[in-house]
Chain A
Amino acid sequence: MIGILGGCGDATSSSNEGNDEDKHLHFLYNFSTNSLDPHVDTSYVPLRAGITETLVRLDEENLAVEPWLAEDWEGEDGVNWIIHLREDVTFHNGTEMDAEAVKASLERAITENIAMDNALKIDHIEADGYTLEITTTEPFPEFISELVNPNVAIIDVTEDDILNHPIGTGPFVLETFVQGSRLDLRRYDDYWDGASNLDSVIFSFNEDANARSLALRSGRVDIVYRPEVESLDTLREIDGLQVESTATFRVHQMTMNMQRESLQDVNVRRAIDALIDREDIVDSILLGHGEVAVGPFLPSLPFAPTYEEQPTGSDAAVAYLEEAGYTLEDGTMQKDGEPLTLTLLTYPSRADLPLIAQVFQSDAKQIGIEVEIKQIDTPEEYMASNRDWDIATYSNLTAPRGDAGYYLNATYHPTGALNFSGAEEAELTALIDELNQTVDYDERAILAEEAAEYVYENVINSFVLHPSTIVAYNENKVDNWVTTRSEYYMITNQLDVK
């Protein structure tokens, strides 16, 4: 067997590894895609691989929206938006990027993608030279931050094969695409923001974390997105391998079903919140690759409030339960002879969540609360149509485009599609409604803070942690790699080899 394989030992690698003189990088990503249509595909590979760009982007320093293909914008009334484009941008086919081209690209995005049509609320677009005038169907203050979404990247829509070969404005041109496997990219010499020093980049996919770690160790790959957590210590020991971890906009939370009798008492919710041993969960389940969460928003976001610290631990939980009228009898927490039992939903597609559920179950048992864990398949579907549960582990992106509007509307507004708590709090709804009418950036931040405060005070949900993105790379070779919190920007014109 070995002998048979041995015969193939000198097989030259078929991958285009570039010439020795070429400056070349191989980046390995954890999701695969069969489509590169920038307006439809939610793996966002064209933007991540540096082929396409959006009008505005998230600045990694302040986590605020900053100009990208757009130079500046106006829109005080929240309905009529004027966007001034950069005038020195060309597509990879040499065509100039003017307002007409951008208009066509935006129109294709909302035609091809019903979700983007819903999200952008565009009524009509006028194009004149390098100026776009966009009117939304209703006052929509987040409009500009919604343009951060990679699904509204700007491409030349006159090209034929957008699905396999999008023509964007980014620092890298797509040369070949093997569906579900890899992209070969070449530097775009006329890139408006300064051509990259790299000649070529391979952007490939592998969905198996072990295989990704091994690929890095084999030296065939230079940067690996999300290597296997258990192998990090091994990777760290290898000379020249750097492991970075950055907290993301995602939050793992415990959703409270406010329609359940026992949970209608805020003290019971506080007890549940106090029982969650966040430090222990981050250390034991995520092996330290996460940040303890107090509220929904990553603390570095401009609208994340500073919360007043609440007592935690089992003593605090017992105190809250006593306040709610529960007593410990025969080892179980009871009220009017009824033991407190909780049904906790969890689902396997995010591997951390069932483990968090188990930690919580054993901590609750210590103070006499029986927690029954129920595994479900599709949480959104189940929670929307069944109300026979008390708490649920869930995971959300809370400010994917640097604005709080999406999460607050979806999760706490009575009409939101992710409002699984069944929360209908007049004060909170009023805050969100006001946020939806407020254009001014600073005022929006204040309102978002107030809403987050309200959620925290009333424990409408509990927040466990912000998981980190882990990236491992060969530091003897890779220069200027940045692991962004938004997870949007990966292959940039700054990326280089030493």
Chain B
Amino acid sequence: MLHIITRKFLEVFFFIVLITFASFVFVRLAPGDPVLTILNVDELSISQEQVEQLREDMGFNKPLLVQYGHWLINFVQLDFGASYVTGQPVMEMIMQGLPATLELTLGALIVMLVIAIPLGSLSALYRNSWIDQISRTLSIIGAAVPSFWLGLILIDLFSVRVNWLPSMGKGGLDTLILPAVTLGLAISSVYVRLLRSSLLESLNQEFIRAGRARGLSECRIFFTHAFRHSLPPVITVFGVSIGSLIGGVVVIEVLFAYPGIGKMVVDAIRQRDYPLIQGYILVMAIIVFIVNTCVDLSYRYLNPELKLKERETSR
């Protein structure tokens, strides 16, 4: 176990250096820089000379490697710089927005589980029945409907027509319900189908038949054997898609005015606020890494074969 974690940490260090360098290069190769935003050319009289001067002062004319070197030296000292636009320290900004984004993601995952586990299980158990048909239809609709539209429909229903829930902002739990449900519905369609096919495969395994022969109850067979066996592929997909899930939160954050980091980074990209973009990518890389590590570790728990193999190789 310790050996795995140590190896992971070495991996992550190189991974971070690689990903920050790649993002640094890509962001700076994109046309435009933050100088015009900083000088607020849309409202203030600026001469071309002043634009060039600031570009020089901020080091945007230096070679890319030199600029990255500066960033890396600061990064090693845990100095992530300040936003060009607001002047706030980058990590402070990200840490202010991150809880909201994580809350929203977590809320959506809970909604997803509440929908996907029953629907996926029922679909697999009663294959080709009307329940299966309904859940498959719902999955297709869920995958096809854009999340912002779904969000607007939910706002119209629960905020305008019956006035039960606030449609925007971040306050108590009630402000989380609509955005989390919207996002949860949007992602659950994938997992319903995934869980269904994974369960069908599990239910056809030898050990399920052996269990039935031993006279175990259907309930026990399903929950302790089949279900557990069908989770690894689902978790793998989850591990892979967590990054895109956090990225996909942006639309929901804008719609529900939920102050997370998704929207913050979209603005940062538009304004070419390099330090904030770099900080965001760094934090996201770490989060994705942590989630994937958890996924790896959960395999060992869910799939006893892995432990057996390890024991065999260590003999």
Residues of chain A having any CB pair with chain B under 8 Å = 1, 4-5, 8-15, 32, 34-35, 37, 40-42, 112, 114-116, 118-119, 149, 163, 178-182, 204-208, 210-211, 214-215, 217-220, 349, 377-378, 380-382, 384, 396-397, 400, 405-406, 409-410, 415-418
Besides the known contacts A35-B87, A163-B88, 4 further A-B residue pairs in the complex with CB atoms under 8 A apart = A116-B44, A181-B257, A214-B155, A384-B48
1/0 per residue, CB under 8 A from A, across B256-282: the answer is 111110011000001000000000000
Most B C-beta atoms less than 10 A away, residue of A34, A182, A215:
A34
Chain A residues near B114: list those with CB within 8 A.
Answer: 4
Closest 6 CB pairs of A and B: A180-B259, A14-B172, A14-B171, A206-B257, A378-B32, A35-B86
CB <8 Å contact, B259 and A211: no
Chain A residues near B43: list those with CB within 8 A.
Answer: 42, 149, 397, 400, 406
Among B30, B39, B264, contact of A180 (Cβ-Cβ < 8 Å): B264
What would be 17 A-B contacts, judged by CB atoms less than 8 Å apart?
Answer: A5-B158, A14-B171, A42-B85, A114-B54, A115-B44, A118-B39, A118-B46, A179-B259, A206-B256, A215-B168, A218-B155, A218-B160, A220-B159, A349-B270, A397-B42, A417-B39, A417-B50
Distance (whole angstroms) from the CB of A273 to the closest CB of chain B: 24
Distance (whole angstroms) from the CB of B177 to the closest CB of chain A: 6
CB <8 Å contact, A211 and B155: yes
Interface size for chain B: under 10, 10 to 19, 20 to 34, or 35 or more residues?
35 or more
Residues of chain B having any CB pair with chain A under 8 Å = 30-33, 36, 38-51, 54, 85-88, 93, 96-97, 114-115, 148, 151-152, 155-156, 158-160, 162-175, 177, 181, 254-260, 263-264, 270
SS class of chain A's interface: helix, strand, loop or mixed? loop
CB <8 Å contact, A181 and B167: no
CB <8 Å contact, B50 and A118: yes
Looking across the interface, which residue of chain A has its beta carbon closest to that of B166? A13
Chain B residues near A40: list those with CB within 8 A.
Answer: 86-87
CB <8 Å contact, A211 and B51: no
CB <8 Å contact, A406 and B259: no
CB <8 Å contact, A37 and B87: yes
The distance in angstroms between the C-alpha atoms of A28 and B263, with both chains bound, is 18
Among A14, A112, A219, A377, contact of B174 (Cβ-Cβ < 8 Å): A14
CB <8 Å contact, B88 and A35: yes
Distance (whole angstroms) from the CB of B256 to the closest CB of chain A: 7
CB <8 Å contact, A34 and B93: yes
Among A119, A179, A215, A396, contact of B44 (Cβ-Cβ < 8 Å): A119
Chain A residues near B47: list those with CB within 8 A.
Answer: 415-417
CB <8 Å contact, B39 and A115: yes
Tally A-B pairs: CB < 8 A.
Answer: 179
Chain A residues near B97: list those with CB within 8 A.
Answer: 34, 179-180
CB <8 Å contact, A179 and B46: no
Chain A residues near B87: list those with CB within 8 A.
Answer: 35, 37, 40, 112
The distance in angstroms between the C-alpha atoms of A11 and B175, with both chains bound, is 10
Among B46, B96, B169, B255, contact of A115 (Cβ-Cβ < 8 Å): B46
Among A119, A206, A417, contact of B51 (Cβ-Cβ < 8 Å): A417
Chain B residues near A11: list those with CB within 8 A.
Answer: 164-165, 172-174, 177
The distance in angstroms between the C-alpha atoms of A293 and B149, with both chains bound, is 35
Chain A residues near B50: list those with CB within 8 A.
Answer: 118, 417
A381 touching B169 in the complex, CB below 8 Å, given contacts A32-B257, A118-B46, A180-B97: no
Chain A residues near B162: list those with CB within 8 A.
Answer: 9
The distance in angstroms between the C-alpha atoms of A417 and B168, with both chains bound, is 39
CB <8 Å contact, A114 and B38: yes
A220 touching B166 in the complex, CB below 8 Å, given contacts A35-B86, A41-B86: yes
Chain A residues near B165: list those with CB within 8 A.
Answer: 5, 8, 11
Chain A residues near B41: list those with CB within 8 A.
Answer: 380, 410, 417-418
Chain B residues near A42: list those with CB within 8 A.
Answer: 40, 43, 85
CB <8 Å contact, A208 and B255: yes
A34 touching B42 in the complex, CB below 8 Å, given contacts A8-B177, A163-B88, A416-B47: no
